[in-house]
Amino acid sequence: MKEKFAIYKGLVKYLILLIILLFCIMPFIFMLLSSLRPGAQMVQNGLTLDFNPKTMSLHNFKALFGYNHGMFFLWFKNSIVLTALQTALSLLFCAMVGYGLGVYNFRGRNIIFLIVLAVMMIPTEVLILPLFKLVVKIRLINTKAGVILPFVVSSFAVFYFRQYCLGLPLELIDSARIDGCNEISIFFRIMSPVMLPAYAAIMILQAMNSWNGFVWPLIALRSNENMTLPIGLNALLTPYGNNYDVLLAGAVFSVIPIIILFLVNQKAFITGLTVGSIKG
């Protein structure tokens, strides 16, 4: 009787997970099918699961790739470069700050941590105007540095690394100091490998935020050659015509890098979230 109950319980659990999975992937299915339909049909019927091979084609993708002499590929490259740079710098600086707040005991540590928590409560929209004035003053407007630097340190990432570092084995640090390692070597050569799950979790979150960034890049960038993919796709919507079919084709390509990044770091991402959630 207990064995049958366990089997039924497992079936119910997997059925619930399957239903949740269908709800999660349904928007991607709608997006993919709509990107293969003619624009007029999509306007008439909306987003549907009606699969008609006779009307399906790659015309929207050809129009996307040929838009403005292949400007889509330049937008895609800009997004890749900005996301890679911002994510790498964010991991470096946020990990160092979180490590310092979580491992070292110094005067004012709790005050700095409270400041980090306070910054997390401030909406990004409130900072747009002072950041814009600062970027203009230091002459970084319409540059990659102007997009990356204002948000290279995330308060949430610092908070997460700090919570993760509270559970690190301090015996490793003491042993390294006895062996003659300095603090920089301890961080990069000994503690960073232990923090790999945290790096993977924050890397996906930061890369996703940077890749989907719209408001600040729209304000900081001026020329069409420097635009990122979200801004470029938004340019397809004009007062003279809304190319929703081409826009959905671009949206299909825009989700591919994040999906690949998650699949590559899936195990480390889940481990980092679950371990980091019980630290501190």
pLDDT, position 118: 92
Residues 6 or more apart from 132 whose CB is under 8 A from it? 219, 220
- Segments of the chain scoring below 70 in pLDDT: 1-2, 40, 42-51, 238-242, 269, 271-280
pLDDT (tens digit, 9 = 90+) per residue, 167-208?
A: 888 888 888 888 888 989 999 988 998 888 889 889 988 999
pLDDT, position 133: 93
Find where tokens 């960038």 sit: 221
| pTM given for the model | 0.83
pLDDT, position 271: 67
pLDDT, position 45: 67
pLDDT, position 52: 72
pLDDT, position 273: 60
Class of 66-276 in CATH: mainly alpha
Domain ranges of the chain: 1-57, 66-276
Counting beta carbons within 10 angstroms of the beta carbon of residue 162, is it exposed (0 to 12), middle (13 to 18) or buried (19 or more)?
A: buried
pLDDT, position 266: 74
